[in-house]
Structure 1
């Protein structure tokens, strides 16, 4: 059974209509986005991922590690739509990853990126890196000239997170909705 975290993404994707000339799916070898959306009308679709991303996953069209690859060491082209889903928990250098997205995005292009905020350490443990809050996402976008057009909260199924904060006497910001476990963000260049 999938986690509520995964289900929020899948439910959102199933409502998405994609019309684009060129789409890049960063990290898409395991679960390609083209098979997860409501409508897919795309002229050119490429997957960018690690050289050997996952067992039984197809080889990516573009081999890249947005943590360590030199920024645009070769011409990968530009895309009017980029998906980078369930990747940023493995990104330990988010500023460079944002720069990659900016560089690969056409002028006035759109990027959909997911960010975990609350998620336990998961496999592979040695690669699980960061979690993100709204303020950090906004600062990374500003530093790389990406414009945030939409931020969708990924909500938990229960109010246990709020109960946890209270039980641990954590000082949550007042007048702020803390019931989220991650983000789906739409950026534009």
Structure 2
């Protein structure tokens, strides 16, 4: 017994539809893989070593995307003191309450700093969370986003300190007032 002509035709149509669906799926996978997932990436080599912007990274799902804190304009060194004063004022710190500091200060609102280039190792103090929020900080050995990368972390609403060591790869901060390097 031979298959009827209608059965052959349906089989051919079904094979064609399946083939087209597979081609479209493969094309979609290729197109998705060829499209950049972030258009905000910035080459960190464009910033001078030791600048605060050299290590600033966006917090969130895409740890590979680089950004500067909002309104920082790249953390222009001439504006850093103004930025620090406004963050400290938002955290409720009076200008006379600052601990003895030395060296650079770093914006604490949002960022990940490359230790040794973006932020020097040392002990830093912050007046705590901005605008009633909780200040979060992390010392990291990598940026994979897994808990295994966290060397140490902390959260505070009031004044807090952290000691960043040379062996740390990154220092990440969120919702904190300016970090000031302490003397000594």
With structure 1 as the length reference, what TM-score do the two structures score?
0.29
The structure where helix makes up a greater share of residues is 2
- Which structure has the bigger radius of gyration? 2
